Structure 1
Amino acid sequence: MRIIVTFRGKQPIDLPLAYSQTVQGFIYNSISDEALKDFMHNKGFYNNKRVFKFFSFSRLEGDYILNKQRKRITFISDVTLKITSLFSPFIEDLASTLMKKDKIILGKNEIAILSISMEEPKVKEQMIVRTISPIVLYSTLQNEYKKYTYYYHPGEKEFPKLIRDNLLRKYNTFHSGSHDLEFEIKPLEYEKNRPVITTYKNTIIKGWNGKFEIEGDKKLVNIAYNYGLGSKNSQGFGMIEEEEHFICRRPLIV
Protein backbone atom coordinates (compact mmCIF):
# COMPACT_ATOMS: atom_id res chain seq x y z
CA MET A 1 0.00 0.00 0.00
CA ARG A 2 1.22 3.50 -0.72
CA ILE A 3 0.33 7.07 0.15
CA ILE A 4 0.65 9.96 -2.30
CA VAL A 5 0.98 13.31 -0.53
CA THR A 6 0.97 16.61 -2.41
CA PHE A 7 1.99 19.77 -0.56
CA ARG A 8 3.02 23.37 -1.07
CA GLY A 9 5.40 25.57 0.86
CA LYS A 10 4.47 28.92 2.36
CA GLN A 11 7.70 29.98 0.60
CA PRO A 12 9.79 27.97 -1.90
CA ILE A 13 10.81 24.78 -0.09
CA ASP A 14 14.55 24.93 0.62
CA LEU A 15 16.26 21.66 1.55
CA PRO A 16 19.75 20.15 1.57
CA LEU A 17 20.60 18.15 -1.54
CA ALA A 18 20.85 15.10 0.73
CA TYR A 19 17.32 15.49 2.08
CA SER A 20 16.45 11.84 2.77
CA GLN A 21 16.98 12.18 6.53
CA THR A 22 14.77 15.29 6.57
CA VAL A 23 11.95 13.47 4.78
CA GLN A 24 12.38 10.40 6.99
CA GLY A 25 12.04 12.63 10.06
CA PHE A 26 8.91 14.18 8.57
CA ILE A 27 7.43 10.68 8.18
CA TYR A 28 8.27 9.57 11.72
CA ASN A 29 6.93 12.82 13.17
CA SER A 30 3.67 12.28 11.29
CA ILE A 31 2.88 9.06 13.18
CA SER A 32 0.36 9.90 15.90
CA ASP A 33 0.41 6.61 17.84
CA GLU A 34 3.42 6.96 20.15
CA ALA A 35 3.91 3.20 20.60
CA LEU A 36 3.82 2.70 16.85
CA LYS A 37 6.22 5.61 16.33
CA ASP A 38 8.67 4.07 18.82
CA PHE A 39 8.39 0.67 17.11
CA MET A 40 8.94 2.06 13.61
CA HIS A 41 11.74 4.43 14.61
CA ASN A 42 13.65 2.47 17.23
CA LYS A 43 12.79 -1.21 16.82
CA GLY A 44 11.40 -2.61 13.59
CA PHE A 45 11.30 -6.27 12.55
CA TYR A 46 14.37 -8.41 13.32
CA ASN A 47 15.85 -11.24 11.26
CA ASN A 48 19.31 -12.57 12.23
CA LYS A 49 20.54 -9.20 13.53
CA ARG A 50 19.10 -7.38 10.51
CA VAL A 51 16.37 -4.84 11.13
CA PHE A 52 13.63 -4.08 8.61
CA LYS A 53 11.31 -1.08 9.01
CA PHE A 54 9.10 -2.19 6.11
CA PHE A 55 8.62 1.15 4.46
CA SER A 56 10.26 3.26 1.81
CA PHE A 57 9.66 6.58 0.12
CA SER A 58 10.29 8.33 -3.16
CA ARG A 59 12.41 11.29 -4.01
CA LEU A 60 10.42 14.51 -3.93
CA GLU A 61 8.69 15.22 -7.24
CA GLY A 62 8.24 18.82 -8.37
CA ASP A 63 9.93 21.65 -10.26
CA TYR A 64 13.16 22.62 -8.55
CA ILE A 65 16.32 24.70 -8.69
CA LEU A 66 19.71 23.26 -7.76
CA ASN A 67 22.45 25.28 -6.10
CA LYS A 68 25.49 23.01 -6.17
CA GLN A 69 27.73 25.49 -4.38
CA ARG A 70 25.40 25.70 -1.39
CA LYS A 71 24.43 22.03 -1.74
CA ARG A 72 20.77 23.02 -1.63
CA ILE A 73 17.67 22.17 -3.63
CA THR A 74 14.70 24.55 -3.78
CA PHE A 75 11.26 23.33 -4.86
CA ILE A 76 9.30 26.12 -6.56
CA SER A 77 6.06 24.29 -7.33
CA ASP A 78 3.71 21.84 -5.65
CA VAL A 79 5.62 18.78 -4.44
CA THR A 80 4.60 15.12 -4.34
CA LEU A 81 5.96 12.50 -1.95
CA LYS A 82 5.12 8.81 -2.21
CA ILE A 83 5.42 6.48 0.77
CA THR A 84 5.03 2.71 0.53
CA SER A 85 4.71 -0.01 3.16
CA LEU A 86 3.47 -3.54 3.73
CA PHE A 87 2.79 -2.81 7.41
CA SER A 88 -0.83 -1.61 7.41
CA PRO A 89 -0.91 -0.10 10.96
CA PHE A 90 1.91 2.27 9.94
CA ILE A 91 0.45 3.33 6.61
CA GLU A 92 -3.08 3.76 8.02
CA ASP A 93 -1.89 5.87 10.97
CA LEU A 94 0.27 7.99 8.71
CA ALA A 95 -2.54 8.63 6.24
CA SER A 96 -5.02 9.43 9.01
CA THR A 97 -2.62 11.88 10.68
CA LEU A 98 -1.73 13.70 7.48
CA MET A 99 -5.39 14.00 6.49
CA LYS A 100 -6.09 15.90 9.72
CA LYS A 101 -3.22 18.37 9.33
CA ASP A 102 -3.50 21.50 7.23
CA LYS A 103 0.11 22.51 7.88
CA ILE A 104 3.23 20.69 8.91
CA ILE A 105 7.00 21.25 9.10
CA LEU A 106 9.45 19.73 6.62
CA GLY A 107 12.97 20.63 7.72
CA LYS A 108 12.65 24.35 8.39
CA ASN A 109 9.83 24.82 5.90
CA GLU A 110 6.18 25.30 6.76
CA ILE A 111 4.13 23.36 4.25
CA ALA A 112 0.42 22.98 3.57
CA ILE A 113 -1.00 19.56 2.67
CA LEU A 114 -2.95 19.96 -0.57
CA SER A 115 -4.08 16.38 -1.09
CA ILE A 116 -3.49 12.87 0.12
CA SER A 117 -4.56 9.61 -1.47
CA MET A 118 -3.97 5.93 -0.84
CA GLU A 119 -3.32 3.21 -3.40
CA GLU A 120 -3.06 -0.55 -3.15
CA PRO A 121 -1.11 -1.42 -6.33
CA LYS A 122 -1.82 -4.78 -7.90
CA VAL A 123 1.34 -6.57 -8.93
CA LYS A 124 1.91 -9.03 -11.75
CA GLU A 125 4.44 -11.84 -12.11
CA GLN A 126 6.26 -9.76 -14.73
CA MET A 127 6.52 -5.96 -14.64
CA ILE A 128 8.56 -3.15 -16.19
CA VAL A 129 9.42 -0.65 -13.45
CA ARG A 130 11.49 2.47 -12.87
CA THR A 131 13.09 3.65 -9.68
CA ILE A 132 11.57 6.65 -7.94
CA SER A 133 14.35 6.47 -5.38
CA PRO A 134 17.76 4.87 -6.11
CA ILE A 135 18.45 1.18 -5.50
CA VAL A 136 21.25 0.62 -2.98
CA LEU A 137 22.92 -2.79 -2.75
CA TYR A 138 26.17 -3.35 -0.91
CA SER A 139 28.43 -5.77 0.94
CA THR A 140 30.90 -5.14 3.73
CA LEU A 141 34.20 -6.65 2.58
CA GLN A 142 37.61 -7.08 4.13
CA ASN A 143 41.00 -6.54 2.53
CA GLU A 144 44.41 -6.94 4.16
CA TYR A 145 44.12 -3.51 5.75
CA LYS A 146 40.51 -2.85 6.75
CA LYS A 147 36.82 -3.43 6.22
CA TYR A 148 35.13 -1.42 3.48
CA THR A 149 31.73 -1.04 1.85
CA TYR A 150 31.33 -2.12 -1.76
CA TYR A 151 28.27 -0.89 -3.69
CA TYR A 152 27.05 -3.08 -6.57
CA HIS A 153 25.80 -1.54 -9.80
CA PRO A 154 22.92 -3.21 -11.69
CA GLY A 155 25.17 -4.63 -14.41
CA GLU A 156 27.26 -6.78 -12.06
CA LYS A 157 26.63 -10.51 -12.07
CA GLU A 158 26.08 -10.55 -8.29
CA PHE A 159 23.30 -7.96 -8.48
CA PRO A 160 20.29 -10.23 -9.35
CA LYS A 161 21.18 -12.84 -6.72
CA LEU A 162 21.74 -10.27 -3.98
CA ILE A 163 18.44 -8.56 -4.83
CA ARG A 164 16.62 -11.91 -4.58
CA ASP A 165 18.38 -12.84 -1.32
CA ASN A 166 17.39 -9.46 0.14
CA LEU A 167 13.74 -9.93 -0.90
CA LEU A 168 13.69 -13.43 0.61
CA ARG A 169 14.99 -12.09 3.94
CA LYS A 170 12.26 -9.46 3.92
CA TYR A 171 9.57 -11.98 3.02
CA ASN A 172 10.72 -14.52 5.62
CA THR A 173 10.88 -11.77 8.27
CA PHE A 174 7.39 -10.46 7.56
CA HIS A 175 5.86 -13.93 7.20
CA SER A 176 7.86 -15.75 9.91
CA GLY A 177 9.21 -18.70 8.00
CA SER A 178 11.83 -20.04 5.65
CA HIS A 179 10.67 -19.83 2.05
CA ASP A 180 12.51 -20.26 -1.23
CA LEU A 181 10.78 -18.28 -3.96
CA GLU A 182 11.90 -17.28 -7.44
CA PHE A 183 12.68 -13.73 -8.50
CA GLU A 184 14.67 -12.23 -11.36
CA ILE A 185 15.64 -8.67 -12.15
CA LYS A 186 17.15 -7.43 -15.40
CA PRO A 187 18.39 -3.87 -15.99
CA LEU A 188 16.94 -2.33 -19.14
CA GLU A 189 18.30 1.21 -18.69
CA TYR A 190 20.83 2.56 -16.22
CA GLU A 191 24.06 4.52 -16.30
CA LYS A 192 26.89 2.52 -14.74
CA ASN A 193 29.16 5.54 -14.39
CA ARG A 194 26.50 7.88 -13.01
CA PRO A 195 25.52 6.56 -9.59
CA VAL A 196 23.41 8.68 -7.26
CA ILE A 197 25.80 9.62 -4.46
CA THR A 198 24.29 11.10 -1.33
CA THR A 199 24.84 11.19 2.42
CA TYR A 200 22.74 10.02 5.33
CA LYS A 201 23.91 10.95 8.83
CA ASN A 202 27.37 11.72 7.41
CA THR A 203 27.62 8.32 5.69
CA ILE A 204 28.19 8.34 1.92
CA ILE A 205 25.69 6.11 0.09
CA LYS A 206 25.83 5.09 -3.56
CA GLY A 207 22.79 3.91 -5.51
CA TRP A 208 21.47 3.67 -9.06
CA ASN A 209 18.36 4.82 -10.86
CA GLY A 210 17.09 2.99 -13.90
CA LYS A 211 14.49 0.94 -15.69
CA PHE A 212 14.18 -2.76 -14.85
CA GLU A 213 12.24 -5.86 -15.74
CA ILE A 214 11.23 -7.82 -12.66
CA GLU A 215 9.71 -11.30 -12.80
CA GLY A 216 9.00 -14.05 -10.32
CA ASP A 217 6.71 -15.32 -7.62
CA LYS A 218 4.07 -12.65 -6.96
CA LYS A 219 4.86 -12.80 -3.24
CA LEU A 220 8.37 -11.47 -3.88
CA VAL A 221 7.19 -9.08 -6.60
CA ASN A 222 4.79 -7.68 -4.00
CA ILE A 223 7.64 -7.17 -1.52
CA ALA A 224 9.70 -5.46 -4.22
CA TYR A 225 6.90 -3.15 -5.33
CA ASN A 226 5.14 -2.38 -2.05
CA TYR A 227 8.24 -2.23 0.16
CA GLY A 228 11.34 -1.71 -1.95
CA LEU A 229 14.33 -3.20 -3.73
CA GLY A 230 17.75 -3.46 -2.14
CA SER A 231 18.93 -2.01 1.15
CA LYS A 232 18.29 1.12 3.23
CA ASN A 233 14.66 1.36 2.15
CA SER A 234 13.49 3.31 5.21
CA GLN A 235 16.20 5.88 4.46
CA GLY A 236 14.49 6.62 1.14
CA PHE A 237 15.98 4.08 -1.26
CA GLY A 238 14.70 1.36 -3.57
CA MET A 239 11.12 2.50 -4.25
CA ILE A 240 9.87 1.58 -7.72
CA GLU A 241 6.92 2.43 -9.90
CA GLU A 242 5.45 0.74 -12.94
CA GLU A 243 6.84 2.28 -16.13
CA GLU A 244 3.49 3.62 -17.35
CA HIS A 245 3.07 5.77 -14.22
CA PHE A 246 6.59 7.20 -14.19
CA ILE A 247 7.14 10.98 -14.49
CA CYS A 248 10.66 12.41 -14.99
CA ARG A 249 11.48 15.76 -13.37
CA ARG A 250 14.51 17.83 -14.37
CA PRO A 251 16.04 20.93 -12.73
CA LEU A 252 15.18 24.34 -14.14
CA ILE A 253 18.60 25.76 -13.26
CA VAL A 254 21.82 23.83 -12.57
Structure 2
Amino acid sequence: MLIIKTKLPTKNLPIRKVLSKLFQSYIYTVLDDKEHDGYKHANGKVFKSMNFKIAYVENEIHIKFVALNQADEKQLAEHTLFNELKLGEIQLTQTNISITERNSKIKSPMRVSGFVCANIKDGKSSKKIYLEPKSVKFQEIIHNNTIQKYEALFGKPYQGDLKIKLVNQKPRERIFHYSKGIMKAWYGVYEIEGDEDILAMILDTGMGANCMKGLGFLE
Protein backbone atom coordinates (compact mmCIF):
# COMPACT_ATOMS: atom_id res chain seq x y z
CA MET A 1 0.00 0.00 0.00
CA LEU A 2 1.22 3.45 -0.95
CA ILE A 3 0.40 6.18 1.56
CA ILE A 4 0.69 9.82 0.52
CA LYS A 5 0.24 12.80 2.83
CA THR A 6 0.59 16.28 1.41
CA LYS A 7 -0.18 19.88 2.31
CA LEU A 8 -1.87 22.49 0.16
CA PRO A 9 -0.48 26.03 0.14
CA THR A 10 -3.68 27.34 1.73
CA LYS A 11 -6.68 25.99 3.61
CA ASN A 12 -10.05 25.08 2.15
CA LEU A 13 -9.32 25.41 -1.55
CA PRO A 14 -12.51 24.62 -3.52
CA ILE A 15 -11.19 21.34 -4.92
CA ARG A 16 -12.95 18.77 -2.74
CA LYS A 17 -15.42 17.79 -5.48
CA VAL A 18 -12.72 17.17 -8.08
CA LEU A 19 -10.00 15.56 -5.95
CA SER A 20 -10.85 11.98 -6.95
CA LYS A 21 -10.84 12.91 -10.62
CA LEU A 22 -7.53 14.78 -10.30
CA PHE A 23 -5.78 11.90 -8.53
CA GLN A 24 -7.22 9.35 -10.95
CA SER A 25 -5.83 11.41 -13.84
CA TYR A 26 -2.46 11.60 -12.08
CA ILE A 27 -2.34 7.80 -11.76
CA TYR A 28 -3.14 7.26 -15.42
CA THR A 29 -0.54 9.83 -16.45
CA VAL A 30 2.19 7.99 -14.53
CA LEU A 31 1.29 4.35 -15.21
CA ASP A 32 1.04 2.36 -18.44
CA ASP A 33 -1.91 2.86 -20.79
CA LYS A 34 -3.06 -0.68 -19.97
CA GLU A 35 -4.09 0.46 -16.52
CA HIS A 36 -6.22 3.19 -18.05
CA ASP A 37 -7.82 0.79 -20.54
CA GLY A 38 -8.54 -1.83 -17.88
CA TYR A 39 -9.22 -5.56 -18.19
CA LYS A 40 -12.30 -6.72 -20.05
CA HIS A 41 -14.48 -9.59 -18.87
CA ALA A 42 -16.15 -11.93 -21.37
CA ASN A 43 -19.43 -10.08 -20.75
CA GLY A 44 -17.84 -6.80 -21.87
CA LYS A 45 -17.49 -5.24 -18.43
CA VAL A 46 -14.14 -3.53 -17.80
CA PHE A 47 -12.32 -3.76 -14.46
CA LYS A 48 -9.32 -1.91 -13.07
CA SER A 49 -6.47 -3.53 -11.15
CA MET A 50 -6.05 -0.80 -8.54
CA ASN A 51 -7.95 1.24 -5.98
CA PHE A 52 -7.54 4.37 -3.87
CA LYS A 53 -9.24 6.50 -1.28
CA ILE A 54 -8.61 10.19 -0.76
CA ALA A 55 -9.52 12.61 2.04
CA TYR A 56 -9.22 16.40 2.26
CA VAL A 57 -8.97 17.90 5.75
CA GLU A 58 -8.27 21.63 6.06
CA ASN A 59 -5.08 22.03 4.02
CA GLU A 60 -4.01 18.36 4.01
CA ILE A 61 -4.70 15.60 1.52
CA HIS A 62 -4.41 11.98 2.67
CA ILE A 63 -4.28 9.24 0.03
CA LYS A 64 -4.08 5.46 0.20
CA PHE A 65 -3.36 3.63 -3.07
CA VAL A 66 -3.22 -0.13 -3.70
CA ALA A 67 -2.64 -2.19 -6.83
CA LEU A 68 -2.75 -5.86 -7.76
CA ASN A 69 0.68 -5.44 -9.30
CA GLN A 70 2.82 -4.00 -6.51
CA ALA A 71 5.25 -2.66 -9.12
CA ASP A 72 2.55 -0.08 -9.89
CA GLU A 73 2.65 1.10 -6.28
CA LYS A 74 6.44 1.41 -6.47
CA GLN A 75 6.34 3.23 -9.81
CA LEU A 76 3.79 5.75 -8.56
CA ALA A 77 5.79 6.27 -5.36
CA GLU A 78 9.06 6.85 -7.22
CA HIS A 79 7.47 9.24 -9.71
CA THR A 80 5.87 11.24 -6.89
CA LEU A 81 9.11 11.28 -4.93
CA PHE A 82 11.28 12.52 -7.81
CA ASN A 83 8.78 14.72 -9.65
CA GLU A 84 6.48 15.90 -6.83
CA LEU A 85 2.75 15.35 -6.73
CA LYS A 86 0.71 17.36 -9.21
CA LEU A 87 -3.08 17.39 -9.11
CA GLY A 88 -4.29 19.30 -12.12
CA GLU A 89 -2.51 22.65 -12.00
CA ILE A 90 -1.72 22.33 -8.29
CA GLN A 91 1.92 21.46 -7.57
CA LEU A 92 2.30 19.96 -4.09
CA THR A 93 5.76 20.18 -2.58
CA GLN A 94 5.27 19.19 1.08
CA THR A 95 4.59 15.53 0.43
CA ASN A 96 5.38 12.48 2.57
CA ILE A 97 5.40 9.04 0.96
CA SER A 98 5.53 5.57 2.50
CA ILE A 99 4.89 2.02 1.32
CA THR A 100 3.58 -0.66 3.67
CA GLU A 101 3.30 -4.38 3.00
CA ARG A 102 1.01 -6.96 4.53
CA ASN A 103 3.02 -8.76 7.18
CA SER A 104 0.96 -11.90 7.46
CA LYS A 105 -0.92 -14.37 5.31
CA ILE A 106 -4.51 -13.42 4.56
CA LYS A 107 -6.87 -15.62 6.52
CA SER A 108 -10.40 -16.58 5.56
CA PRO A 109 -12.78 -15.29 6.73
CA MET A 110 -11.38 -11.76 6.80
CA ARG A 111 -13.22 -8.82 8.33
CA VAL A 112 -12.90 -5.50 6.52
CA SER A 113 -14.79 -2.23 6.32
CA GLY A 114 -15.29 0.70 3.99
CA PHE A 115 -17.62 2.43 1.54
CA VAL A 116 -18.71 -0.09 -1.09
CA CYS A 117 -20.86 1.11 -3.98
CA ALA A 118 -23.46 -0.71 -6.06
CA ASN A 119 -26.17 0.73 -8.25
CA ILE A 120 -28.83 -0.14 -10.78
CA LYS A 121 -30.46 1.96 -13.47
CA ASP A 122 -33.99 3.26 -13.09
CA GLY A 123 -35.88 1.68 -15.97
CA LYS A 124 -37.89 4.84 -16.60
CA SER A 125 -35.27 7.58 -16.45
CA SER A 126 -31.98 5.65 -16.74
CA LYS A 127 -30.81 7.42 -13.57
CA LYS A 128 -28.66 5.44 -11.17
CA ILE A 129 -30.26 4.12 -8.00
CA TYR A 130 -27.65 3.49 -5.29
CA LEU A 131 -28.31 0.43 -3.17
CA GLU A 132 -27.84 -0.09 0.55
CA PRO A 133 -25.51 -2.93 1.56
CA LYS A 134 -28.33 -4.62 3.49
CA SER A 135 -30.39 -5.08 0.31
CA VAL A 136 -30.46 -8.46 -1.40
CA LYS A 137 -29.79 -6.84 -4.78
CA PHE A 138 -26.65 -5.11 -3.47
CA GLN A 139 -25.28 -8.39 -2.15
CA GLU A 140 -26.04 -10.17 -5.42
CA ILE A 141 -24.33 -7.46 -7.49
CA ILE A 142 -21.23 -7.33 -5.27
CA HIS A 143 -20.82 -11.11 -5.30
CA ASN A 144 -21.11 -11.36 -9.09
CA ASN A 145 -18.96 -8.27 -9.64
CA THR A 146 -16.15 -9.68 -7.48
CA ILE A 147 -16.05 -13.00 -9.32
CA GLN A 148 -16.16 -11.26 -12.71
CA LYS A 149 -13.31 -8.98 -11.67
CA TYR A 150 -11.23 -12.01 -10.68
CA GLU A 151 -11.90 -13.64 -14.05
CA ALA A 152 -11.01 -10.45 -15.93
CA LEU A 153 -7.81 -9.72 -13.99
CA PHE A 154 -6.49 -13.28 -13.80
CA GLY A 155 -7.84 -14.55 -17.12
CA LYS A 156 -9.32 -17.73 -15.65
CA PRO A 157 -12.50 -18.86 -13.87
CA TYR A 158 -12.70 -18.63 -10.10
CA GLN A 159 -13.02 -22.20 -8.81
CA GLY A 160 -13.38 -21.57 -5.08
CA ASP A 161 -16.22 -20.51 -2.82
CA LEU A 162 -16.94 -16.85 -2.12
CA LYS A 163 -19.14 -15.59 0.69
CA ILE A 164 -19.55 -11.87 1.39
CA LYS A 165 -21.51 -11.26 4.58
CA LEU A 166 -22.58 -7.83 5.79
CA VAL A 167 -21.88 -7.58 9.51
CA ASN A 168 -22.95 -3.98 10.08
CA GLN A 169 -24.03 -0.97 8.06
CA LYS A 170 -24.25 2.69 9.03
CA PRO A 171 -27.80 3.97 8.51
CA ARG A 172 -26.93 7.08 6.51
CA GLU A 173 -25.24 7.20 3.16
CA ARG A 174 -22.30 9.46 2.30
CA ILE A 175 -22.10 11.55 -0.84
CA PHE A 176 -18.91 11.22 -2.89
CA HIS A 177 -17.98 13.56 -5.71
CA TYR A 178 -16.32 12.72 -9.00
CA SER A 179 -15.87 15.53 -11.49
CA LYS A 180 -19.37 17.02 -11.84
CA GLY A 181 -21.25 13.94 -10.69
CA ILE A 182 -22.10 12.42 -7.33
CA MET A 183 -22.05 8.87 -6.01
CA LYS A 184 -23.63 7.41 -2.87
CA ALA A 185 -22.30 4.69 -0.61
CA TRP A 186 -22.92 3.38 2.89
CA TYR A 187 -20.14 2.49 5.32
CA GLY A 188 -20.26 -1.21 6.02
CA VAL A 189 -18.37 -3.95 7.82
CA TYR A 190 -17.99 -7.18 5.86
CA GLU A 191 -16.88 -10.71 6.62
CA ILE A 192 -15.53 -12.34 3.47
CA GLU A 193 -14.70 -16.01 2.94
CA GLY A 194 -12.78 -17.18 -0.11
CA ASP A 195 -9.48 -18.40 -1.49
CA GLU A 196 -6.43 -16.35 -0.58
CA ASP A 197 -5.94 -14.98 -4.09
CA ILE A 198 -9.45 -13.52 -4.34
CA LEU A 199 -9.20 -12.05 -0.83
CA ALA A 200 -5.89 -10.43 -1.78
CA MET A 201 -7.48 -9.12 -4.97
CA ILE A 202 -10.26 -7.46 -2.96
CA LEU A 203 -7.70 -5.74 -0.73
CA ASP A 204 -5.56 -4.69 -3.71
CA THR A 205 -8.29 -3.55 -6.11
CA GLY A 206 -11.30 -2.69 -3.97
CA MET A 207 -14.83 -4.08 -4.00
CA GLY A 208 -17.90 -2.89 -5.85
CA ALA A 209 -18.29 -0.08 -8.37
CA ASN A 210 -16.22 3.08 -8.84
CA CYS A 211 -13.02 1.73 -7.30
CA MET A 212 -10.96 4.14 -9.41
CA LYS A 213 -13.14 7.04 -8.32
CA GLY A 214 -12.31 6.78 -4.62
CA LEU A 215 -14.78 4.11 -3.50
CA GLY A 216 -14.55 0.43 -2.60
CA PHE A 217 -11.38 0.70 -0.48
CA LEU A 218 -11.45 -1.94 2.27
CA GLU A 219 -9.12 -2.34 5.23
Partner in structure 2 of residue 7 of structure 1 = 6
- The percentage of aligned residue pairs carrying the same residue is 24
Partner in structure 2 of residue 104 of structure 1 = 85
Paired with 2:7 and 2:125, the residues of 1 have a C-alpha distance of: 46
Q: Is the 8 A contact 1:135 1:209 kept in 2?
A: yes
Question: Which structure shows the higher helix fraction?
Answer: 2
Deviations 1:109-131 (A, max 9, x none): 43225322222324221222221
- Aligned CA RMSD, in angstroms, stands at 2.3
Partner in structure 2 of residue 68 of structure 1 = none
SS at the partner of 1:129?
strand
Count of residues paired in the alignment: 215
Deviates more, 1:114-123 or 1:2-11: 114-123
Gaps of 5+ in 2: none
Q: How far is the alpha carbon of 1:160 from its aligned partner?
A: 2.7
1:123 corresponds, among 82, 106, 110, to: 106
Q: How far is the alpha carbon of 1:4 from its aligned partner?
A: 0.9
Residues 8/16 of structure 1: CA separation in 2 closer, same or farther (3 Å cut): closer
Paired with 1:189 and 1:221, the residues of 2 have a C-alpha distance of: 19
Partner in structure 1 of residue 130 of structure 2 = 151
Q: How far is the alpha carbon of 1:3 from its aligned partner?
A: 0.7
Q: How far is the alpha carbon of 1:174 from its aligned partner?
A: 1.3
SS at the partner of 2:63?
strand
Give 1:127's aligned amino acid. Answer: M
Partner in structure 2 of residue 252 of structure 1 = none
Q: Write the mapping of 1:127-206 to structure 2, written as runs, cut at 5 A.
A: 127-131=110-114, 134-142=115-123, 145-192=124-171, 194-206=172-184
Partner in structure 2 of residue 84 of structure 1 = 66
Paired with 1:181 and 1:86, the residues of 2 have a C-alpha distance of: 19
Give 2:107's aligned amino acid. Answer: K
Scaled by the length of structure 2, the TM-score of the pair is 0.85
Q: Is the 8 A contact 1:15 1:107 kept in 2?
A: no
Deviations 1:9-31 (A, max 9, x none): 233362433232122223333x1
Partner in structure 1 of residue 26 of structure 2 = 26
Partner in structure 2 of residue 95 of structure 1 = 77
Scaled by the length of structure 1, the TM-score of the pair is 0.75
Q: Is the 8 A contact 2:170 2:188 kept in 1?
A: yes
Gaps of 5+ in 1: 65-74, 242-254
The question of 1:55 aligning with 2:53 is answered no
